[in-house]
Amino acid sequence: MEPSEALGTAAQVAVALAGFAGVVVAFRSGSVHEWQTVDKLRLRLLLNNSIVPLILCLLAVWLASVDPHQIWIWRACSALALTISIGMIMSGARASSLRELKLGHGSRLLFFSFSVLGIVAMLLQIYNLAILNAFWPFYATVIFQLVTGAVQFVRLILIQPESPG
């Protein structure tokens, strides 16, 4: 599969995932402002992990369409992915503390597992930026974010909301 085809498919998945956020909000009882902090975090992660891959895919498709094909495209995409990932971590760290969230054991394990995978994805972007200059590490980060968003969607649907807090 060509990079432009893969990016187009990932962009479509990202748009669908962002639409699922609207479904979650529409079918949940109460307004978003009445949700528990952990549910608000899950919704924010769902939105972030659908919008960021969409932006990355659209930018990569745009850069790949430049004629003649530039050799620095995947380095630039990895640099952008790394910058956005660090920005998301910094804003998330300011927004909430793990102690405030009252995560259960399973949620905590899932959170830390995805955190480790996110660190691996960022290290892969650094490697791609510094040495590799290939499509697959950049695309691996896009896929990681889409999978993370899909997991948050499933959790928002399956986990019953507790009383607002």
Q: Parse the chain into domains and list their residue ranges.
A: 3-158
What single DSSP character describes residue 102? Answer: T
- For the entire predicted model, the pTM comes to 0.90
Tens-place pLDDT, residues 130-145: 999 999 999 999 999 9
Confidence label for 94 from pLDDT (cuts 50, 70 and 90): low
CA atoms of 113 and 118, how far apart (whole Å):
9
Among residues 5, 12, 26, the alpha carbon closest in space to that of 146 is found at 12
Q: Taking residues 32-56, what's their average pLDDT?
A: 91
Share in percent of the chain as helix, strand, coil (round to 5): 80, 0, 20
Q: Compute the mean pLDDT over every residue in the chain, rounded to the nearest whole number.
A: 89
- With 0-12 CB in 10 A as exposed, 13-18 as middle and 19+ as buried, what is 81? buried
Statement: residue 68 has pLDDT above 90:
no
What single DSSP character describes residue 31? Answer: -
Report the pLDDT value the prediction gives residue 96, as an integer from 0 to 100. 58
Report the pLDDT value the prediction gives residue 153, as an integer from 0 to 100. 93
Statement: residue 73 has pLDDT above 70:
yes
Confidence label for 165 from pLDDT (cuts 50, 70 and 90): very low
CA atoms of 69 and 72, how far apart (whole Å):
9
Q: Look up tokens 């479509």; give the residue.
A: 12
Statement: residue 112 has pLDDT above 80:
yes
